[in-house]
Structure 1
Amino acid sequence: MIRILQLPLGPLQTNCYVLADLDTKQAAVIDPSWDGRAIAEQARQQGWTISHILLTHTHFDHVGGLAELKALSGAPIYVHPDATAMLSNAPRAAMIWGITIDPPPPPDVLLQGDETIQVGTLLLDVLYTPGHAPGHVCFHLAAEKVLFDGDVLFQDSIGRTDLPGGDYDLLLTSIRDKLLPLPDETAVLSGHGPATTIGDERRTNPFLT
């Protein structure tokens, strides 16, 4: 059995997700966007041990709580190698917006984009989905038909591509090649806003129809 906590955090209300395997009490934090202590406390209150920190990408609003969460949990940080430069630059990028974040620690595990990560008994497939940001990946929990997709696909929208490293055509290719083949009922848990499904976005998303 699984449980998923959605925590909109920080000045941009970026969704952080805590995915727990209730059988083993292990949990993965996906995109610790802000306030690592609050994220760790949520897990502690549930009796979960944070065993993984998974980054879809490294825009500053997705890693604002990373340093604190790493210090509190000791869990390894997983990120695609193409996202490491942006991770190092996150505090400077945040300053442009008048926001201060702690310097993020370096990653522990570099993802290639085609592997499977095990959290307790749960298996997350890593999908390489660049376009919104360099080294962007999604995490697909196929058995439960759940996709943690960062800032690739939103309800009736797609990720912006006007930031450094963005590429509109590449983003659409990632969506069409990696996300749209998933089952219609797959829940899409995005970095901002409400959940949607692959089927709904295939039918009604103005960027895809």
Structure 2
Amino acid sequence: MILACDEVPAEPLPATGSIVGIDMGVRQFFTTSDGEHVAHPRFFQVMAGELAEAQRHLATFPKRTRRRTKKHRAAARKVATIHAKIRRQRLDHHHKRANELIRDHDVIAHKKLNTAGMTKSPEAKADPETPGGFLPNGAAAKAGLNRSILDAGWGLFFGILAQKAESAARRVIPVDARNTSRTCPTCGHVAKENRLTQTKFECTACGFTANADHVGAMNILSRAGLALCHVA
């Protein structure tokens, strides 16, 4: 059976007079310019143990067989079922968070991110003093960060947010991501040293302190405001 439906018409929402910036993260899913932290559910991480066990079981079967056995098919279905569950959970989470943003704000600003580039593995660097050896390149730490970014699904979320915004007559503004977490929202001082840790920001010029993700979101909001003024 094939079902067809007409295009769903746009349903503009009443104006709220609110504009917000959001800073995506790996510790929190995102932080708003109002200081709200939205938790990162880490669906893949939660299911990682069960998935690894299912994959190990699948790997015990011969790779090349003329006829798949019933047990082999069941093992393959188990792996596929876990992946599908993770995708469904992530998609549901993205839709709910996007709906909340669209409902409460007329304009939502976020960093313009190249998630494909951000999740590339670091290149191996040969050690000139050790033939056949390589210098440390932080590959293990980068792999962990990549898993967190992919688990969060930022690109998928931005796509859903943009679609919902268009339907509801809201506006989504991607802004330049550079130095959003290193710029003081109070005095404008920019320095790498301003960001003490992954979560703590302290301006070396004026002493302003805050959560680093909150600072990022405030700067994103500021840049979106400048973009709106430019358009106007």
Structure with the bigger percentage of helix: 2
TM-score, with length taken from structure 1: 0.27
Structure number with the bigger relative contact order (C-alpha 8 A, sep ≥ 6) is 2
Q: Which has the larger radius of gyration?
A: 2
Which structure is higher in strand share? 1
TM score, norm. by length of structure 2: 0.25
